[in-house]
Amino acid sequence: MKVKVIPVLEDNYMYLVIEELTREAVAVDVAVPKRLLEIVGREGVSLTAVLTTHHHWDHARGNPELARLRPGLAVLGADERIFSLTRRLAHGEELRFGAIHVRCLLTPGHTAGHMSYFLWEDDCPDPPALFSGDALSVAGCGSCLEGSAQQMYQSLAELGTLPPETKVFCGHEHTLSNLEFAQKVEPCNDHVRAKLSWAK
């Protein structure tokens, strides 16, 4: 499993996940479809589906144009408000893309229908991957816009049960601001100080 990290807009990330044997690919949170398709072409892969974490424009606004450019493309997510959704996913549902398994994890808090995606390959030495959208970021989490703090806590607690070697691919680059805030809250925390130094 190969993950292409695609920075877009002011601080968003889109992702292209490539199954290297079949050259099948899945996109996560398409905000700028033409940029995604440039990378699809350069990598020589077949884009078969889009996984959308939530309905906000900076994660889903590219879906309609991408669906128009790629008829038959599956656009998947947990919230009917996601642009161009072709199938609504349920918590715990599992999908397959070639050798890649996807477990859908409903992680409400930021939005009511926020879905995170846990991906792995059987018999592969690479660690699994989590695409957490705005549920989890480096040193922080998304704002509770449609849910409660308790829902967000439960969502984060569930993500915390994933294998510790899991690589986390979040929806935004907020590392420095999150750690600077954490240092203001806990000025004597050595872990925060070391992580902030690393991030800078």
Judge contact between 51 and 129, C-beta under 8 A. Answer: no
Per-residue pLDDT tens digits for 14-37: 999 999 999 999 999 999 999 999
- 172 as an active site residue: the answer is yes
Residue of 56, 79, 114, 174 with catalytic role: 56
Q: Does residue 147 have a pLDDT over 90?
A: no
pLDDT digits (tens, 9 = 90+) for 44-101: 999 999 999 999 999 999 999 999 999 999 999 999 999 999 999 999 999 999 999 9
Cα–Cα dist 96/120, whole Å: 10
Active-site residue flag, 58: yes
Domains of the chain: 2-169 (3.60.15.10)
Residue 187 has pLDDT above 90, yes or no: yes
Query: Of 59, 79, 114, 174, which is the active-site residue?
Result: 59
Residue 126 annotated among the catalytic residues of the structure: no
- Is 114 labeled as catalytic in the residue annotation? no
- Say if residue 123's pLDDT is above 90: no
